[in-house]
């Protein structure tokens, strides 16, 4: 819910006049159309404001109101922050604790139901102190609980307020006086009998290390120092404005929440009357029920309505005082203790600590009432110099004597526009140039060109700069005036020198210009403030402050950064006066503008606010979960929403955010929203980061982070995947082993089959060859008996060689050729020169392998199927070519075919196929029969 935020113009006085007030903002805490009645407030460590109301416990961040604990018939009676979160007391007797978005019951007792808690406090050790109305003080510690009541020395069991002091003691405000406790012991009591103005003490606050401010019902407020047992200071009941329900001492100020007219502010020892911050609404009182100083020094209060109020004492605005209209101040200066200002009614001075009953002092000057006082400055000796446009220059001395300087008693233009005092010199800017008062003499320097001079500023290097209308910025070097630059803007209103010695100048639509020796360098010309006129310029905390017709901005020359202070300081619509911005001895800045007299006590958070980014809530689906640095969820609960904030109450709409989800992508997204959703995150690890910023630069902002792990489904868990992988590997290994076994078995079976085939073939080869040999022997016996005997002997040798090789699957080609030559010798004995054998085989190929007796069978086949004669012999050729053994013979087919079994060539083909599917080629060409047999490499 967007809430409205606007500045209040607080009007009041008990005397019917308009008073000063700190910059006060009103914050709407409505929840939709519901209007809670807020009665107690506190701030947690993250900067969030918590409010107890009739609708429950609320939490505000400047932009949104969240109901943290809804109630119906109960009420939140007290709040206190601890290091982890927030404690809340309910009138039903329950203490609850909020931390990281989670609510737990801390303590519950019927004592708290009968005697509801009115105040809570938590010390550095986490011990909780509960001030009850009827049961004294309950102490809840990690090692147990205890109680401080009337029987332990407390003045009364009806406790209205408690507070912890810096020395560790506990101050207790009761219906019968004030008590100081140490541990479980009452060390001192202070009531009317001991000098207190009233026994009924309603509120108490720590002041420094060991002092206590107490607010009473009818005796006003008093400052008690227990060690001295005396009242150090006192505010009478009439000055306090009635019963003091709440009291707060903070940063040199005392705030009183009274039963009528809202809060009252007392400033720096002014105890006679304070600043009223709010008028009583028509028809009744508007009390301040609870006061709170936040971590930036701004004070909050509630009044039982649906609004909260915050007042910044660092910004004090005084539109009218003592019947003087301060919205039209024409000149301003500060001396050691007083503020001097000029209006159309004349010259006035006032004590720097304004209060409702304080009065201004009029200083009479003998001038025409229509002559304005345009500039004031204070000398070190207490002399106030007043420049007028038409009546010259006046010196108001501390003893009341007034001197006047104009054309009649010194060479000075009576139309003076500004005056500036540096040590023993007084420099004035006039329509015609500048003049200096030094050692009782006046020296005049004319402008180098046309135009008049708005301001003359002596610099630390001894030179003097002038802001002119027509000549730009001019420099006086001790002898003459000269233009700093002949280019750039021609009109400047104001000049200032920062702590580093750099000089700056502004004017109508000039932007901010750095004044160098011979140049004007413009910076930030595109800033919104420079779209209008610039009236005033000063320096503060190493920054340059520029006031114009559209607001106020600060420039940091070291960082080159800009900070818009317009809304932050409540200066919307600001129009500053020329030469009307001054510093007082305390460092505060005073400014005259159309809003009145403004006092600014600069704080670092103005320029570099530290925005603490907080991740307030995480939603998974529709469930709110505890926010913690690391968090796990499951794959089916992966829709995640992050809610975050950065408490900032001056200008909440100016807060921007950067966020990213590392693990999803590293892209940084900028947004003004305070919520981001991721509808479906895949399993994995992520880091959500978010940070807040003001303006454009977020570089120095700190990230708030949450690490998230989305667990995968069980079937994607590591142990499942690992187990599945192991099972798969085992199955694969089993399959490989099974395959290897099958292959090995198949190979064994194939080898057995080959061996069986070879054995079968060999069993066929031997009888076949023997049968053919016997046929040849029979023929020799019949024709040539002598050769038959030789043939039998050689045949015996041949069979002996066969027996030596028969069990081998393969033999070398050399061994096969040896068998061939033996066999051919047997055949040649039979046929003589009718058959011939030619062998051309390299020694390398002789080491290759062949099936045994393959050549013998081919030669036998050639002789069997061809006719051999001396005139036409059978020529058998054996040669090796490219890994093949080629056996050929000439064709002389017999007229009558020889009886054949068809075994020879077929057995050669089968024997080679059995060895590995090796093929044997048979080829017929005209006149020749060719057989190609593969040569097999020897097995190593």
In whole numbers, what is the pLDDT of the chain averaged over residues? 84
| pLDDT tops 50 at residue 723 | yes
Global pTM reads 0.73
* Burial class, 766, CB count within 10 angstroms (exposed 0-12 / middle 13-18 / buried 19+): middle
pLDDT digits 0-9 by tens, 829-857: 777 889 999 999 999 999 999 888 888 88
Angle at 171 between CA 193 and CA 93, to 5 degrees: 110
pLDDT digits 0-9 by tens, 411-421: 788 899 999 99
Residue 356 vs residue 573, higher pLDDT: 573
Cβ neighbours, 10 Å, residue 104:
10
Predicted local confidence at residue 446, as pLDDT: 77
Give CA–CA dist 914/244, Å, rounded.
120
Cβ neighbours, 10 Å, residue 183:
12
The pair phi, psi for residue 373, each rounded to 5°, is -90, 120
CB 171 within 8 A of CB 212: yes
Q: Which of 8-22, 91-105, 630-644 has the lowest mean pLDDT?
A: 8-22
Cβ neighbours, 10 Å, residue 529:
23
The pair phi, psi for residue 559, each rounded to 5°, is -95, -15
Q: Which of 18-27, 42-51, 88-97, 416-425 has the lowest mean pLDDT?
A: 18-27
Q: What is the mean pLDDT of residues 926-937?
A: 91
CB 606 within 8 A of CB 348: no
| pLDDT tops 70 at residue 14 | no
Range among 505-514, 609-618, 838-847 with highest mean pLDDT value: 838-847
| pLDDT tops 70 at residue 6 | no
Cα separation values, 335 from 351, 380, 383, 877, 906, Å: 10, 8, 9, 138, 135
Which 3-state string (H, E, C) describes 578-598? EEEEEECCCCCEEEEECCEEE
Buried b (16+ CB within 10 A) or exposed e, 677-706: eeeebeeeebebbbbbbbeeebeebeebeb
Q: What is the mean pLDDT of residues 370-389?
A: 92
CB 204 within 8 A of CB 177: no
Sign of the C-alpha dihedral, residues 538, 540, 546, 552? negative
pLDDT digits 0-9 by tens, 137-179: 999 998 888 999 999 999 999 999 999 998 889 999 999 999 9
Predicted local confidence at residue 9, as pLDDT: 27
CB 593 within 8 A of CB 547: yes
732, containing H or E segment: helix 718-783
User: Between 903-914 and 718-783, two packed helices, what is the crossing angle to 10 degrees?
Assistant: 160
pLDDT digits 0-9 by tens, 101-123: 788 898 988 889 899 999 999 99
Give CA–CA dist 395/899, Å, rounded.
160
Give CA–CA dist 96/118, Å, rounded.
15
Q: Which one, of 885, 890, 871, 870, lies nearest residue 918 by Cα? A: 885
Cα 78 versus chain centre, distance: 35
Residue 228 vs residue 299, higher pLDDT: 299
Residue 278 vs residue 653, higher pLDDT: 653
Q: Which one, of 489, 490, 472, lies nearest residue 481 by Cα? A: 472
| pLDDT tops 90 at residue 205 | yes
516, containing H or E segment: none
Q: Which one, of 448, 552, 539, 548, lies nearest residue 501 by Cα? A: 539
* Helix (H), strand (E) counts: the chain: 9, 74
Cα 240 versus chain centre, distance: 48
CB 505 within 8 A of CB 495: yes
Cα separation values, 777 from 61, 333, 676, 782, 930, Å: 127, 155, 111, 9, 28
Predicted local confidence at residue 758, as pLDDT: 54
User: Is residue 356 very low, low, confident or very high in pLDDT (cuts 50, 70, 90)?
Assistant: low
Angle at 934 between CA 932 and CA 940, to 5 degrees: 160
Q: Which one, of 854, 860, 858, 926, lies nearest residue 892 by Cα? A: 926
Give CA–CA dist 537/857, Å, rounded.
125
User: Between 854-865 and 903-914, two packed helices, what is the crossing angle to 10 degrees?
Assistant: 160
Give CA–CA dist 519/836, Å, rounded.
123
Predicted local confidence at residue 698, as pLDDT: 78
Sign of the C-alpha dihedral, residues 854, 859, 864, 865? positive
């Amino acid at each position: 819910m967007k809430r409205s935020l606007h500045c209040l113009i607080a009007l009041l006085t008990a005397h019917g006049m308009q008073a000063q007030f700190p910059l006060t903002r009103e914050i709407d805490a409505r929840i939709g159309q519901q209007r809670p009645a807020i009665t107690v407030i506190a701030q947690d460590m993250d900067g969030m404001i918590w409010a107890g109301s009739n609708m429950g416990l609320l939490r505000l961040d400047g932009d949104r109101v969240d109901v943290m604990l809804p109630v119906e018939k109960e009420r939140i009676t007290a709040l206190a922050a601890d290091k982890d979160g927030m404690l809340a007391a309910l009138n039903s007797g329950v203490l609850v604790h909020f931390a990281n978005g989670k609510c737990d019951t801390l303590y519950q007792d019927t004592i708290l139901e009968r005697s509801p808690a009115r105040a809570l406090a938590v010390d550095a050790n986490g011990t909780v102190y509960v001030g009850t109305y009827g049961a004294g003080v309950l102490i809840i510690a990690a090692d147990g609980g205890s109680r401080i009541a009337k029987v332990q020395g407390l003045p009364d069991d009806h406790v209205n307020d408690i507070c912890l002091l810096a020395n560790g003691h506990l101050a207790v405000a009761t219906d019968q006086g004030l008590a100081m406790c140490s541990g479980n012991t009452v060390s001192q009591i202070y009531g009317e009998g001991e000098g207190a103005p009233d026994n009924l003490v309603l509120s108490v606050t720590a002041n420094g290390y060991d002092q206590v401010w107490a607010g009473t019902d009818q005796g006003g407020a008093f400052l008690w120092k227990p060690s001295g047992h005396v009242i150090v200071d006192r505010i009478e009941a009439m000055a306090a404005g009635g019963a003091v329900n709440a009291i707060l001492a903070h940063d040199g100020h005392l705030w009183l929440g009274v039963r009528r007219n809202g809060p009252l502010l007392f400033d720096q020892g002014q105890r006679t009357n304070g600043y009223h911050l709010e008028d009583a609404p028509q028809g009744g009182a508007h009390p301040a029920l609870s006061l709170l100083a936040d971590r930036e020094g701004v004070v909050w209060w509630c009044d039982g309505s649906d609004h909260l109020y915050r007042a910044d004492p660092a910004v004090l605005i005084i539109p009218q005082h003592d019947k003087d209209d301060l919205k039209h101040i024409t000149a301003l200066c500060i001396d050691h203790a007083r503020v001097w200002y000029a209006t159309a009614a004349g010259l006035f001075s006032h004590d720097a600590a304004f209060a409702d009953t304080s009065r201004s002092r009029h200083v009479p000057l003998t001038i025409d009432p229509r002559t304005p006082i345009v500039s004031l400055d204070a000398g070190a000796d207490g002399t106030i110099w007043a420049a007028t446009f038409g009546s010259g220059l006046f010196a108001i001395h501390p003893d009341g004597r007034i001197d006047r300087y104009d054309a009649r008693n010194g060479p000075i233009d009576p139309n003076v526009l500004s005056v500036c005092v540096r040590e023993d010199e007084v420099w004035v800017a006039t329509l015609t140039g500048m003049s200096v008062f030094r050692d009782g003499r006046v020296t005049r320097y004319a402008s180098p060109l046309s135009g008049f001079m708005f301001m003359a500023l002596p610099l630390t290097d001894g030179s003097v700069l002038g802001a002119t209308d027509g000549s730009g910025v001019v420099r006086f070097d001790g002898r003459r005036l000269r233009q700093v630059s002949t280019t750039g803007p021609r009109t400047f209103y104001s000049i200032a020198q920062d702590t580093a010695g750099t000089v700056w100048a502004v004017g109508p639509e000039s932007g901010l210009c750095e004044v160098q020796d011979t140049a004007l360098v413009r910076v930030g010309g595109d800033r919104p403030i420079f779209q209008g006129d610039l009236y005033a310029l000063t320096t503060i905390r190493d920054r340059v402050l520029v006031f114009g017709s559209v607001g106020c901005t600060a420039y940091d020359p070291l960082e080159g950064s800009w900070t818009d202070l317009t809304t932050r300081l409540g200066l919307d619509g600001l129009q500053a006066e020329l030469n009307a911005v001054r510093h007082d001895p305390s460092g505060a800045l005073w400014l005259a503008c159309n809003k009145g007299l403004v006092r600014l006590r600069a704080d670092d958070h103005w320029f570099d606010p530290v925005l603490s980014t907080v991740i307030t809530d995480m939603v998974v689906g529709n469930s709110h979960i505890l926010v913690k640095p690391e968090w796990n969820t499951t794959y089916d609960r992966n829709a995640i929403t992050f809610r975050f904030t950065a408490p900032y109450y001056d200008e909440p709409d100016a807060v921007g955010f950067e966020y990213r989800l590392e693990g999803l992508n590293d892209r940084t997204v900028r947004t003004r929203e305070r919520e981001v959703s991721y509808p479906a995150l895949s399993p994995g690890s992520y880091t959500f980061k978010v940070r807040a910023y003001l303006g454009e630069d977020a570089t120095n902002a700190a990230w708030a982070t949450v690490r998230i792990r989305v667990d995968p489904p069980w079937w994607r868990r590591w142990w499942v995947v690992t187990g599945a992988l192991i099972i798969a590997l085992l199955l694969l290994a089993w399959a490989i082993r099974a395959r290897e076994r099958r292959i090995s078995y198949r190979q064994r079976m194939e080898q057995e089959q080959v061996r069986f085939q070879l054995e079968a073939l060999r069993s066929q080869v031997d009888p076949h060859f023997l049968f053919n040999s016997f046929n040849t022997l029979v023929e020799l016996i019949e024709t040539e008996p002598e050769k038959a005997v030789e043939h039998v002997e050689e045949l015996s040798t041949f069979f002996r060689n066969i027996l030596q090789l028969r069990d081998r699957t393969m033999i070398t080609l050399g061994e096969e050729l040896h068998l061939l030559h033996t066999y051919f010798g047997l055949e040649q004995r039979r046929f003589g020169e009718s058959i011939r054998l030619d062998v051309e085989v390299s020694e390398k190929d002789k080491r290759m392998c062949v099936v045994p007796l393959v050549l013998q069978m081919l030669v036998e086949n050639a002789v069997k199927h061809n006719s051999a004669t001396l005139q036409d012999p059978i020529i058998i050729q054996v040669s090796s070519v490219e890994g093949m053994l080629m056996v050929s013979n000439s064709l002389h087919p017999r007229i009558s075919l020889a009886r054949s079994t068809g075994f020879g060539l077929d057995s050669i083909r089968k024997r080679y196929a059995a060895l590995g599917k090796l093929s044997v080629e048979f080829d017929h060409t005209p006149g020749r029969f060719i057989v190609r047999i593969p040569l097999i490499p020897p097995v190593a």
